Structure 1
Amino acid sequence: MKFINIIGTTGSGKSTFAQKIAKERQIHYIELDDLLWLDDWKESPNDALFLKLKIAMENAATGWIIDGLYTRTIPMIMEKVDTVIWLDYPFHINLYRLSERTFGRVISRKKLWENSNNRESLKLMLSKESIFIWLIKSYPKNRKKYFDLMQNPAYQHIQFIRLTSPKQAAEFLQKIKSI
């Protein structure tokens, strides 16, 4: 496990989990959302996103862990990754974690990513672009996408690890500490 990708639906805890593994394995942490989002909730164009991701991966030649996976980044990440860890939690766990995280960020007004000015807001939370609507729409789609990814013959060289509960994730982190 030298080049790792953490996947899962919003609210699953990808960032926290990836940061813990990065610290334990002493590898570079790459937050895909930080590479994607520009100020004022504008997305980086594909060319810019791919370049930022390429540079981040090349600058971490001794090992990296990427938090997140966008459909457009699949070919680039799957070409280099050796391990994919899927946080496949039940919907209610993702919803609970997302609620806790989002309400906390609305109150704190903390900037979400280093390279943009984006913050959670009550207005955004209650809009058509709400992260909660995104979770409801994307949860079943992402599960299908990740199952398909695991079954894809082109990616059979990759070790896929599917964790279906926070307890399994905690046990996995404990195993990493003993390696």
Structure 2
Amino acid sequence: MKSNKFSKIMVIGFSGSGKSTISKMISNTLNIPVLYLDKVHWLENWVENDKESECKIVSDFLENNDSWVIDGNYSHMSYNKRLESADLIIFMNFNRFNCLFRAFKRLFENRGKTRESMADNCVEKVDFEFIKWILWDSRQKSQTNNYKYALENYRDKVIIIKNQKEYDDFIDNFKVKYQAF
């Protein structure tokens, strides 16, 4: 087996950029657990979890796993601890229109289903609130400051993926480098 340089990987970025897909690929390739923060935040049927429970789930996951992939932003869920602990931080920085396109593509691929990265009975949807989040709200300074903080303070372990070609190249290279013989 090839040596594994990365054992703790944090995937952050804009909704619809492919965070969950790349997190699952990394988890499968390295055979390490993945935690989807959307699955922590959302309870069954799109009910939001309380912040105290969310923080406990993430803290327990960090404490009980030597290796991990954590998919998602959610700054109140041990964000700084995740940044400090991570060996690699992947920032999915796709433009807003690409994210919207990918969200609709995901909707059609998962029509009537709940993705693995979501809580039970959170059937895939794209509504006005989510479109607004992708195009405007998630791009506001109050939201992007966390990305800026990660880039400024942990630049030596950040990889930025800005488009589909970079995404595909990262996946191909990662699989070649880290899959077992």
Distance 2:56 2:96 in 1: 33
- For the pair 1:36 / 2:41, whether they are aligned, the reply is yes
Counterpart pick for 1:65 among 65, 69, 88:
69
- For the pair 1:87 / 2:85, whether they are aligned, the reply is no
Deviation string 1:48-105 (CA, Å, 9 cap, x unpaired) is 00111122233322x1101111121212322422211011112221111011112443
Matched with 1:110 is 113
Say which SS state the counterpart of residue 69 (structure 1) adopts: coil
Is contact 2:35–2:70 with CA below 8 Å preserved after alignment?
A: yes
Distance 1:57 1:15 in 2: 18
Is contact 1:111–1:117 with CA below 8 Å preserved after alignment?
A: yes
Distance 2:20 2:118 in 1: 14
The CA deviation at 1:37 is 0.7
Distance 1:83 1:96 in 2: 27
CA, structure 1 residues 114+59, in 2 after alignment: closer, same or farther (shift >3 Å)? farther
The CA deviation at 1:161 is 0.8
Matched with 1:148 is 149
Matched with 2:134 is 135
Deviation string 1:104-126 (CA, Å, 9 cap, x unpaired) is 43xx31124564322235xxx44
Unaligned runs of 5+ in 1: none
CA, structure 1 residues 23+126, in 2 after alignment: closer, same or farther (shift >3 Å)? closer
Q: What TM-score do you get using the length of structure 2 for normalisation? A: 0.81
Question: Which segments of structure 1 move beyond 6 Å, counting only runs of 4 or more?
Answer: none
Say which SS state the counterpart of residue 78 (structure 1) adopts: helix
Deviates further, 162-171 or 140-149: 140-149
**How many residues in Structure 1 have an aligned counterpart in Structure 2?**
168
- For the pair 1:96 / 2:94, whether they are aligned, the reply is no
Is contact 2:36–2:118 with CA below 8 Å preserved after alignment?
A: no
Matched with 2:23 is 18
Matched with 2:162 is 164
Distance 2:80 2:87 in 1: 13
Distance 1:89 1:77 in 2: 22
